């Protein structure tokens, strides 16, 4: 699934690469591109498809698009704030709402009236209102000749300040986004919705039909949808920009657009940077994912209730594992790296041949390599300490956030760590005061595993390891910490926050004490990364970006940054593994797929489907494939036609698309969507939800 | 399950350690000890239990015991060669016999007559006939002052030669066993059985009831048994030494004995050696196991047939993972290492205080540390190349064995690699010419995973990696190799072996070519390990062993070496997690356990049990716990009473026993067995196998 955890996988790559002739890697070809809404691919759309929409077309689509801050996309589909996203995006809230008695994940949900809609504990939705380029102001704030530490501090200060000023001025959430790895800085202003209520979810069995085996596969048969409604002042919000509904859905060969929030791509990384990902960070992450998958699976298999508790965590881990395995396969393919190397060589040659570029940019690749060399020395510490894998449990995250909130509040806004800037405070509090349930048994095994990893990676004789374990085994220490902490209770968190730094320092909560113990070393490695890796990377990539603009012109797009992008392409089948993959599957073929697997989990259609099969038009398209350029984070993105009408919703890419993290190719790579017609049928005929079907597009 | 893959896990260790006062780690306490049959714990048995059996008692039990060479134990239970072992030991043969049409693992098997008994493709059973101490001859063959390479060569030569001479003389399989990590060498002579036929197996659902969640747990409810029969000249072998059957089985508080083949313990390792296991080899192995578990699980979940194909591999991996996690937990417990450190300090002090020992042994601990330091440099290469993880697939193992068989045959027996010594040839051929099925799809994903690991661990720019991949991605290269090789066919293997080294070198089989390509580097790292690690370790541990004998006397036992050992103890419940664990569970409680989990996999009793519940005496003991000292490899060991009668069969240890890899304690650690009474009931009332029940003990 292409939620934020999903990146890249490769199947039969060399064939794909033959079709991928991206010379400078940033020059779009075919339907490539995750385009900025303030720099859309006008020339390409005109030349390739004769499509020349007015500016209002872009603005309407932009403001109809919704970002799920936990890692996905969605869209407004009614004037009364109805939001459509994927089941696997909504599942985070479904899980948090569930109890032993009521399982929203397994059983699904339908609110028969608006009064039945259920408030989510901590869901925040964002709508991008407008964008300003602030590159000049950000760069001007960094004094010429400043050393890296000073440059990083100055850059962070100006970004925090811009956001604070703008948030105060507009009342919106304001983020300064770093694009082109440092080549541009843009101010994104978002409207925030925090009263978000669950309206509809199908059963997990059909939302995630085929489970892990079918994930990233095609043909596919998932009703991967979920509906929420945003409220303001206790009533459904009145929404100006929402998508019209195209009841016929997407047609074969039709030009379609995708508006969503791809999380991260690595297409513009230098070869040295990619080698670091291949050799160091990705293997470490994959090992961690695999170990986590085993940990959670064994916990879940002990009982139905255990499985309910860890289901979403496990899904997240499995989905990431499958995607990251694909990324690794791509980077381990000698042909991919050779391709990247020749593109880099060509761009460097172009730079060397231009006296002006040579002066500004020739050293940039070596600068990247030098920063990456430092990153290779510290990435394990970053992983363990600052990313918190060594102390993996909800209560530690909460303890650290409360500690740092208190510490950073003592500093002027400009000096604070990015996530504690005042303009981000409301979102942060939404998260840290979430009443979502915490299961001590699950958190204990996660923490014990984290501490054990800490011993293995940092060494049993490491001073911090010894202090953290306090003479106990990882298992015992984890049990003691989880048993002793009171941070499960939201009131305790609020009380601690109210008391400020003094209260945090005086707390005898063992998890708070742990957060205090590790904060120094953790901040130290973060500082090293920010000053000696991130800042020089930004400076070097800014130079490379300028060279790209000079060589390729301005109609190029930056790597994905979990911000709103526009992609385009056509609905189109493909040939793979000796057979033709059709542009869509149908409701009927879902039943066939289940029958082939004796309706055994995870190929078990739920009773609601089995019992209403006779009432369905089985020829209705269910899932379809198209060429728009997407990646993890795009899950839930609306697919619209030339008229801007909703024709489907992205929920996955096929295995062949996973290499798109590094290089886009449309020969066999495809985005996979749920078809609008299937949504209409399912709501009306399976779930008896005509109230919602009638509301769509109105 | 305590088959050969199982080692150690810890739960609540400090409590255990308080009870574990093993001063020099080799001095047995309580019911500790995996004793040699030629040096049984006579004094302890007499003092503790007033038990003084005649020499014939030991000999009868020894010769009634059977070793399963794939990694388990068993016993003769009739004069007609009936062998009783665990289902999870027999499953290797069940899997190899199974096809898409007939699934011996899931469905079980019962041969109604001897004619229906099914020959296993490659099963070899060994019975230990007698033992001689050859320490003096082995050590005398190493010239005084020889350097390590010369010492290793001389030692290997004398061991190969002794085995060859003795095999020729006796017609038996003869192995020189290294005990006390180099302190003693003993010649074990085994009778081999290679015509072994499947007689009975229950369904996997009850043989492995509770699956991975219940593995290493107690209370427990498994009918983990399987029966084979050894044949000679096409008829059931006539067996002189077989166990009488005690129909009442084991009683609470009764003294019992276990005779089996514990695979490996690390109780006598130095602290430096244990630190290496904790920091380097064990984390690497665990990561590999976790990744393999995910790999096989995802393959298996795609279809029932896939799961059938990988089921035994997956079980092996999961079982190892659970055991190795326990070992890591033990070594990561500061209390365990502190205990080991003080025992070592005490022994070193005793050595230092004795002028003779000081001269011979004082430097031994530093010598171990120096050898371990070299091992730390090469263990990853050993893991990838010589242990073959980089080329993980059945066909590569076969290719390498054929290549080395041809190479080593060109050398005199004394100079050959140990596994290619002439006395081992018959066992080796049993394995390499096994007609067990090979599934290309499964082998391809395993090989692709191995090659990917090779890239990650050795580096994409490593010369051997480049040569192995031949410009392709791990996935493509794996597919090409598996698709191209013909080693799936036994006839091709035999033809290649017949052609000798010339035929192997001239072969155009891609897997043979791969084996040739990697053989040089692989042998090189093996040679380094044998000469610079294994040999100095043997020499140093021999000195430490002599010091132990001097300090503790001769009634001590060596670490486990997958050779026959005698353990003893009593049937006894224990208190853990605030409740009393009873000495046994009953047939009735198995039904209750299934019901608690709604009879859902892996807690689903098979139809044969559910339909015959009414005919069973539900109070019959099913599984029982006792204190004998066991570890992985002991699976299938008979449990006998003072009269030497069969009262049960070992199949597991509880979680608390897993720390026994490093230190034995009987406070809560227990061996778990299937009770003789349950076996009788199940055979007669559930499986209608009175033929077998009547044969037991006769």
Tell me the per-residue pLDDT of A31-86, one tens digit each, with 9 for 90 and over: 999 999 999 999 999 999 999 999 999 999 999 999 999 899 999 999 999 999 99
Burial of B211 (0-12, 13-18, 19+ CB in 10 A): middle
Strand partners, A133: A186
The model's confidence at residue A247, banded by pLDDT at 50, 70 and 90, is confident
Extract the tokens encoding B264.
């490996």
Listed residue (A368, A362, A358, A351) closest to A551, CA to CA: A351
Listed residue (A698, A693, A694, A692) closest to A117, CA to CA: A692
**pLDDT tens column, B143-152:** 999 999 999 9
Contact B578, B73 (CB under 8 A): no
Tell me phi and psi for residue B503, to 5 degrees.
-65, -40
Average of per-residue pLDDT across A175-200: 97
Q: Please indicate whether, in this complex, the C-beta atoms of A600 and B304 are within 8 angstroms of each other.
A: yes
Extract the tokens encoding B599.
């009879």
Average of per-residue pLDDT across B528-542: 97
* Closest CA–CA distance from residue B314 to any residue of chain A (Å): 12
Q: Residue B4's pLDDT is what? A: 63
SS3 B226: strand
Instruction: Report how far residue B448's alpha carbon sits from residue B154's, in angstroms, rounded to the nearest whole number.
Output: 39
Average of per-residue pLDDT across A473-478: 97
Instruction: Report how far residue B323's alpha carbon sits from residue B2's, in angstroms, rounded to the nearest whole number.
Output: 9
Listed residue (A410, A562, A533) closest to A152, CA to CA: A533
pLDDT surpassing 80 at residue B11: no
Find which of A476, A593, A596, A663 to mutate to test the B interface (most B CBs within 10 Å of its CB). A476
Q: Comparing A432-436, B212-216, B550-554, which segment has the lowest mean pLDDT?
A: B550-554
Peptide linkage before B219 cis (omega within 30 of 0)? yes
* Closest CA–CA distance from residue A334 to any residue of chain B (Å): 6
SS3 B591: helix
**pLDDT tens column, A562-578:** 999 999 999 999 998 78
Tell me phi and psi for residue A141, to 5 degrees.
-75, -20
Domains and CATH numbers, chain A: 13-107+203-271+558-695 (2.40.10.120), 367-533 (no CATH)
Listed residue (B256, B316, B323, B68) closest to B638, CA to CA: B256
Instruction: Report how far residue A591's alpha carbon sits from residue A604's, in angstroms, rounded to the nearest whole number.
Output: 9
Q: Please indicate whether, in this complex, the C-beta atoms of A456 and B321 are within 8 angstroms of each other.
A: no
Burial of A523 (0-12, 13-18, 19+ CB in 10 A): middle
Instruction: Report how far residue B475's alpha carbon sits from residue B469's, in angstroms, rounded to the nearest whole number.
Output: 10
Burial of B494 (0-12, 13-18, 19+ CB in 10 A): middle
Contact B649, B674 (CB under 8 A): yes
Contact B111, B200 (CB under 8 A): yes
Q: Which helix (H) or strand (E) holds A320?
A: helix A304-331
Tell me phi and psi for residue B38, to 5 degrees.
-95, 10
Size of interface A-B (CB pairs under 8 A): 121
**pLDDT tens column, A119-147:** 999 999 999 999 999 999 999 999 999 99
Percent of chain B with pLDDT over 90: 94
The model's confidence at residue B13, banded by pLDDT at 50, 70 and 90, is very low
Average of per-residue pLDDT across B657-661: 92
Q: Residue B2's pLDDT is what? A: 76
Q: Please indicate whether, in this complex, the C-beta atoms of B460 and A211 are within 8 angstroms of each other.
A: no
Using a CB-CB cut-off of 8 Å, the residues of chain A touching B598 are 304
Q: Residue B27's pLDDT is what? A: 54
SS3 B651: strand
Q: Residue B70's pLDDT is what? A: 87
Q: Residue A554's pLDDT is what? A: 86
Read off the pTM.
0.94
Instruction: Report how far residue B38's alpha carbon sits from residue B187's, in angstroms, rounded to the nearest whole number.
Output: 11
Per the rule left: phi > 0, alpha: psi between -120 and 50, beta: everything else, A163 is alpha
Nearest CB partner across the interface for B294, out of A293, A473, A602 = A293
Q: How far is CA A210 from CA A59, A106, A184, A222, in A?
A: 37, 14, 41, 8
Q: Comparing A4-13, A113-122, B9-18, which segment has the lowest mean pLDDT?
A: B9-18
Q: Residue B9's pLDDT is what? A: 31
Instruction: Report how far residue B18's alpha carbon sits from residue B9's, in angstroms, rounded to the nearest whole number.
Output: 17
Q: Please indicate whether, in this complex, the C-beta atoms of B297 and A297 are within 8 angstroms of each other.
A: yes
Tell me whether B345 touches chain A (CB under 8 Å): no
Tell me whether B409 touches chain A (CB under 8 Å): no
**pLDDT tens column, B464-505:** 999 999 999 999 999 999 999 999 999 999 999 999 999 999
What is the sign, positive or negative, of the torsion defined by CA atoms of A382, A388, A389, A390?
Answer: positive
Nearest CB partner across the interface for B212, out of A298, A322, A469 = A298
pLDDT surpassing 50 at residue A537: yes
Strand partners, B570: B255
The model's confidence at residue A14, banded by pLDDT at 50, 70 and 90, is very low
pLDDT surpassing 60 at residue B371: yes
Angle at B35 between CA B32 and CA B41, to 5 degrees: 75
Tell me phi and psi for residue B224, to 5 degrees.
-85, 70
Q: What's the start-to-end Cα distance of chain B, in Å? A: 29
Q: Please indicate whether, in this complex, the C-beta atoms of A476 and B298 are within 8 angstroms of each other.
A: no
Tell me whether B91 touches chain A (CB under 8 Å): no
Buried b or exposed e, range B42-66, using 16+ CB within 10 angstroms: eebbeeeeeeebeeebbebbbbbbb
What does pLDDT average to over chain A?
94
The residue in chain B having the minimum alpha-carbon distance to the alpha carbon of residue A594 is B303
Angle at A188 between CA A184 and CA A194, to 5 degrees: 150
**pLDDT tens column, A251-264:** 999 999 999 999 99
pLDDT surpassing 70 at residue B26: no
Nearest CB partner across the interface for A213, out of B298, B328, B334 = B298
Average of per-residue pLDDT across B381-404: 98
Instruction: Report how far residue B293's alpha carbon sits from residue A296's, in angstroms, rounded to the nearest whole number.
Output: 13
* Closest CA–CA distance from residue A12 to any residue of chain B (Å): 7
A37, A41, A43, A46: CA torsion to nearest 10? -90
Strand partners, A567: A258
* Closest CA–CA distance from residue B303 to any residue of chain A (Å): 7
Residues whose CB is less than 8 angstroms from the CB of residue A554 and which lie 6 or more positions away in sequence, other chains included: A39
Extract the tokens encoding A554.
């301005």
Q: Residue A3's pLDDT is what? A: 72
Contact A399, A511 (CB under 8 A): yes
Q: How many CB atoms lie within 10 A of CB A67?
A: 24
Q: Residue B41's pLDDT is what? A: 96
Q: Residue A30's pLDDT is what? A: 85
The model's confidence at residue A596, banded by pLDDT at 50, 70 and 90, is very high
- DSSP string computed for A636-660: T-EEE-TT--EEEEEEEE-GGGGGG
Residues whose CB is less than 8 angstroms from the CB of residue B503 and which lie 6 or more positions away in sequence, other chains included: B406, B495, B496
Residues whose CB is less than 8 angstroms from the CB of residue B513 and which lie 6 or more positions away in sequence, other chains included: B507
Tell me whether A341 touches chain B (CB under 8 Å): no
Q: Please indicate whether, in this complex, the C-beta atoms of A294 and B298 are within 8 angstroms of each other.
A: no
Residues in A 558-597 with any Cβ partner in B closer than 8 A = 597
**pLDDT tens column, B296-350:** 999 999 999 999 999 999 999 999 999 999 999 999 999 999 999 999 999 999 9
Q: Residue B294's pLDDT is what? A: 97
Check residue A180 and report its DSSP letter: G
Contact A632, A7 (CB under 8 A): yes
Instruction: Report how far residue B418's alpha carbon sits from residue B386's, in angstroms, rounded to the nearest whole number.
Output: 14
The model's confidence at residue B577, banded by pLDDT at 50, 70 and 90, is confident
Q: Residue B24's pLDDT is what? A: 42
The model's confidence at residue A528, banded by pLDDT at 50, 70 and 90, is very high
The shares of helix, strand and coil residues in chain A, as percent rounded to the nearest 5, are 55, 15, 30
Q: How many CB atoms lie within 10 A of CB B522?
A: 23
Average of per-residue pLDDT across A610-627: 98
Average of per-residue pLDDT across A457-484: 97
């Amino acid at each position: 699934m292409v939620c934020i955890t999903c990146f890249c996988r490769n199947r039969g790559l060399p064939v794909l690469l033959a079709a991928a002739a991206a010379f400078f890697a940033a020059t779009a070809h075919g339907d490539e591109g995750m385009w900025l809404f303030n720099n859309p691919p006008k020339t390409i759309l005109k030349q390739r498809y004769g499509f020349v929409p007015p500016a209002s077309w872009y603005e309407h689509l932009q403001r109809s698009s919704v970002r799920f801050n936990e890692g996905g996309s969605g869209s407004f589909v009614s004037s009364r704030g109805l939001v459509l996203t994927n089941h696997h995006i909504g599942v985070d809230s479904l899980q948090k709402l569930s109890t032993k008695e009521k399982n929203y994940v397994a059983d699904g949900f339908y609110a028969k009236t608006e009064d039945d809609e259920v408030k989510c504990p901590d869901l925040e939705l964002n709508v991008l209102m407008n964008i300003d380029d602030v590159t000049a102001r950000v760069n001007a704030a960094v004094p010429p000749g400043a050393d890296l530490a000073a440059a990083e501090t100055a850059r962070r200060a100006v970004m925090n300040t811009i956001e604070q000023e703008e948030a105060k001025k507009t009342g919106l959430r304001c983020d300064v986004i770093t694009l082109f790895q440092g080549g541009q800085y843009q101010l994104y202003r978002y409207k925030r919705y925090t009263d978000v209520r669950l309206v509809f979810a199908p059963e997990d069995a059909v939302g995630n039909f085929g489970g892990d085996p079918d994930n990233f596969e095609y043909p596919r048969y998932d009703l991967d949808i979920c509906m929420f409604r945003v409220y303001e002042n206790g009533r459904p919000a009145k929404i100006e920009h929402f998508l019209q509904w195209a009841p016929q859905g997407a047609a074969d060969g039709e030009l379609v657009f995708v508006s969503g929030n791809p999380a991260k791509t690595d297409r513009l990384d230098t070869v040295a940077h990619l080698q670091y990902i291949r050799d160091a960070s990705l293997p470490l992450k994959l090992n961690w994912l695999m170990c986590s998958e085993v940990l959670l699976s064994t916990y879940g298999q002990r009982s139905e209730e255990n499985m309910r508790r860890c289901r979403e965590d496990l899904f997240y881990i499995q989905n990431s594992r499958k995607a990251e395995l694909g990324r690794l396969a791509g980077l381990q393919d000698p042909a991919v790296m050779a391709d990247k190397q020749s593109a880099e060589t060509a761009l460097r040659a172009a730079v060397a041949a231009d006296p002006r570029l040579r002066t500004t940019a020739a050293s940039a690749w070596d600068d990247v390599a030098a920063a990456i060399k430092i990153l290779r020395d510290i990435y394990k510490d970053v992983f363990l300490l600052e990313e918190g894998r060594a102390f993996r449990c909800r209560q530690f995250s909460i303890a650290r956030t409360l500690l740092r909130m208190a510490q950073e509040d003592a500093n002027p806004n400009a000096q604070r760590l990015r996530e504690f800037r005042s303009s981000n405070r409301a979102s942060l509090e939404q998260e840290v005061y979430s009443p979502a349930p915490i299961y001590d048994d699950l958190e204990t095994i996660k923490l014990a595993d984290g501490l054990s990893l800490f011993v293995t990676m940092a060494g049993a004789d490491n001073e911090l390891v010894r202090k953290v374990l306090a003479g106990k085994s990882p298992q015992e220490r984890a049990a003691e910490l989880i048993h002793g902490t009171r941070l499960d209770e939201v009131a305790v968190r609020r009380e601690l926050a109210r008391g400020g730094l003094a209260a945090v320092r005086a707390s005898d909560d063992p998890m708070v004490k742990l957060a205090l113990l590790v904060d120094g070393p953790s901040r130290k490695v973060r500082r090293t990364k920010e000053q000696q890796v991130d800042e020089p990377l930004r400076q070097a990539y800014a130079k490379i970006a300028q060279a790209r603009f000079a060589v390729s012109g301005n109609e190029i797009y930056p790597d994905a940054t979990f911000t709103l992008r526009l992609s385009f392409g056509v609905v189109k089948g493909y040939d793979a593994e000796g057979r033709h993959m059709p542009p869509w599957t149908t409701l009927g073929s879902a039943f066939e797929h289940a029958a082939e697997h004796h309706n055994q989990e995870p190929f078990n259609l739920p009773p609601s489907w089995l019992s209403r099969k006779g009432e369905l038009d089985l020829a209705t398209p269910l899932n379809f494939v198209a060429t728009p350029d997407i990646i993890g984070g795009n899950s839930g993105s609306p697919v619209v036609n030339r008229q801007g009408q909703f024709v489907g919703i992205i929920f996955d890419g096929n295995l062949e698309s996973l290499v798109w993290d590094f290089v886009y190719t449309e020969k066999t790579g495809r985005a996979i969507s749920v078809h609008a017609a299937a949504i209409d049928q399912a709501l009306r005929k399976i779930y008896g939800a005509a109230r919602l079907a009638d509301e769509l597009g109105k």
